[in-house]
């Protein structure tokens, strides 16, 4: 009968909102540390500096590229040295997760400014830590959600379309994994774990509805350099709806298979959401869902350019052996795949992945 809901203190999405960042930061602190993705460091640092008040003492730092122990330690030391009262992550999901962890470690407020909508990391009190080589290590349950998530949709829409499409792949898992957790009666990620609240379930389901309605329109628009209502809706679905959905309902085999895939060198150039999209298809096969649902989801992914076969991930040699390694890694004790409401073993997960690959191949 219990339930709990978690989310960011405030979510703001509007084209040009980066120019108002100073107004949003004013109630939170005066000594912000900005952790900024390397590829966008100069333009974003300049835009942010122009938006800050004269009484603010910012420090801008380039993100090292991986949310790993070494990078977390490096940035934490800078935050302590600067006596930062706000840590602001500016960039993608790994930048956001690093900023969240550092803020928790130092007692600072948390602000996330996504420059892409490729993952649902920004809003949650969950952070994923990897090795320095990008292999999944652990998911951390943090004590607090971000105080503010500020999304300048003009910046997000101007990013290469592949990022938005990858975010759709990540968001695609939200409802399917929520359904898995509801059926297995697994607790969510809020306050140590509670049954999913009605609000979280409704958000996860609506996230799916928005993707089905607007994803293809949004892809076409961003490929043409346009910011439309469909694009705004997909940015919100990828960032807010998916973030609230997964935190309040839970993940399962879609993300579990993603985590297992990170042990393979072939997939290190594949985006998080692309791997999750493939994992979602495998989840549906693992749960033996209706053929029509699996086929429709494969066709949806294919229409967007998301991977539907192992070859799309670069896995073309020693396939069975590599998929067995993926299954074994996914099934580590305590891993999120165990929320899936079916019997699990390495052979069962391996064969579900291979069966999905074979089924997708038959669709042409």
Catalytic residue from among 37, 85, 258, 259: 258
155 is annotated as contributing to ligand binding: no
**3-state DSSP of the chain:** CCCCCCCCCCEEECCCHHHHHHHHHCCCCCCEEEEECHHHHHHHHHHHHHHCCCCCCCEEEECCCCCCHHHHHHHHHHHHHHCCCEEEEEECHHHHHHHHHHHHHHCCEEEEEECCCCCCCCCCCEEEEECCCCCEEEEEECCCCCCEEEECHHHHHHCCHHHHHHHHHHHHHHHHHHHHHHHHCCCCCCCCCCCCCHHHHHHHHHHHHHHHHHHHHHHHHHHCCCCCHHHHHHHHHHHHHHHHHHHHHCCCHHHHHHHHHCCCHHHCCCCHHHHHHHHHHHHHHHCCCCHHHHHHHHHHHHHHCCCCCHHHHCCCCCHHHHHHHHHHHHCCCCCHHHHCCCCCCHHHHHHHHHHHHHHHHHCC
Residue 134 near residue 66, CB atoms below 8 Å: yes
Task: Please tell me whether 206 is known to bind a ligand.
Answer: no
| Set 170, 259, 312, 357: catalytic member | 170
Q: Is 93 known to sit in a ligand binding site? A: yes
| Of 147, 152, 255, 259, catalytic | 255
**Is 268 annotated in some ligand binding site?**
no
The response to whether 124 counts as a known ligand-binding position is yes
Q: Is 208 a catalytic residue?
A: no
Catalytic residue check, 170? yes
Does 315 count as an annotated binding residue? no
Q: Is 120 annotated as a binding residue?
A: yes
**Do the strands 32-36 and 59-62 form a parallel or antiparallel pair, or are they unpaired?**
parallel
Residue 116 labeled ligand binder: yes
| Residue 94 annotated in ligand binding | yes
Which of 85, 272, 312, 357 does the annotation list as catalytic?
272
The answer to whether 311 is a known ligand-binding residue is no
Residue 79 among known ligand-binding residues: no
24 is catalytic: no
Six token digits for residue 178: 């929520």
Please check if 115 is assigned to a binding site.
yes
Going by C-alpha positions, the residue among 239, 235, 241 that lies closest to residue 204 is 241
Active site residue 272: yes
- Angle subtended at Cα 219 by Cα 284 and Cα 16, rounded to the nearest 5 degrees: 120
Q: Is 239 annotated as a binding residue?
A: no
117 is known to lie in a ligand binding site: yes
- Asked if residue 203 belongs to a known ligand binding site, the reply is no
Catalytic residues: 170, 255, 258, 272
Binding positions:
93-97, 115-118, 120, 124, 130, 170, 255, 272
Binding residues for NAD(+): 93-97, 115-118, 124, 130
The annotation places the binding site for glycerol at 120, 170, 255, 272
């Amino acid at each position: 009968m219990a339930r709990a809901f978690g989310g960011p203190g405030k979510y703001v999405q509007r084209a040009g909102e980066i120019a108002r960042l100073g107004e949003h930061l004013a109630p939170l602190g005066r000594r912000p540390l900005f952790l900024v993705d390397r590829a966008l460091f100069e333009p974003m640092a300049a835009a942010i500096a122009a938006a800050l008040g004269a009484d603010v003492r910012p420090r801008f730092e380039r993100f090292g590229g991986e949310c790993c122990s070494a990078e977390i330690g490096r940035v934490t030391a800078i935050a302590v040295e600067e006596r930062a009262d706000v840590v602001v992550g500016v960039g993608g999901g790994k930048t956001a997760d690093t900023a969240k962890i550092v803020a928790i470690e130092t007692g600072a407020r948390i602000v996330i400014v996504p420059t892409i909508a490729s993952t649902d990391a920004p809003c949650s009190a969950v952070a994923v830590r990897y090795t320095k080589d990008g292999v999944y290590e652990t998911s951390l349950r943090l004590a607090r959600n971000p105080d503010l998530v500020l999304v300048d949709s003009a910046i997000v829409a101007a990013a290469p379309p592949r990022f938005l499409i990858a975010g759709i792949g990540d968001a695609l898992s939200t409802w399917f994994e929520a359904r898995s957790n509801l059926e297995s009666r697994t607790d969510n990620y809020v306050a140590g774990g509670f049954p999913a609240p009605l609000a979280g379930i409704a958000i996860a389901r609506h996230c799916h509805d928005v993707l089905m309605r607007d994803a293809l329109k949004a892809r076409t628009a961003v490929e043409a350099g346009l910011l439309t209502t469909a694009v705004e809706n997909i940015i919100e679905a990828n960032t807010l709806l998916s973030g609230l959905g997964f935190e309040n309902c839970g993940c399962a085999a879609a993300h579990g298979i993603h985590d297992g895939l990170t042990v393979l060198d072939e997939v290190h150039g594949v985006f998080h959401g692309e791997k999750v999209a493939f994992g979602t298809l495998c989840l549906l096969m693992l749960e033996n869902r209706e053929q029509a649902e699996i086929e429709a989801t494969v066709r949806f992914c294919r229409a967007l350019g998301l991977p539907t076969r192992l070859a799309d991930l670069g896995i073309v040699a020693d396939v069975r052996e590599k998929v067995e390694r993926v299954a074994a890694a996914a099934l580590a004790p305590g891993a999120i795949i165990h929320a899936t409401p079916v019997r699990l073993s390495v052979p069962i997960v391996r064969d579900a992945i291979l069966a999905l690959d074979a089924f997708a191949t038959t669709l042409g």
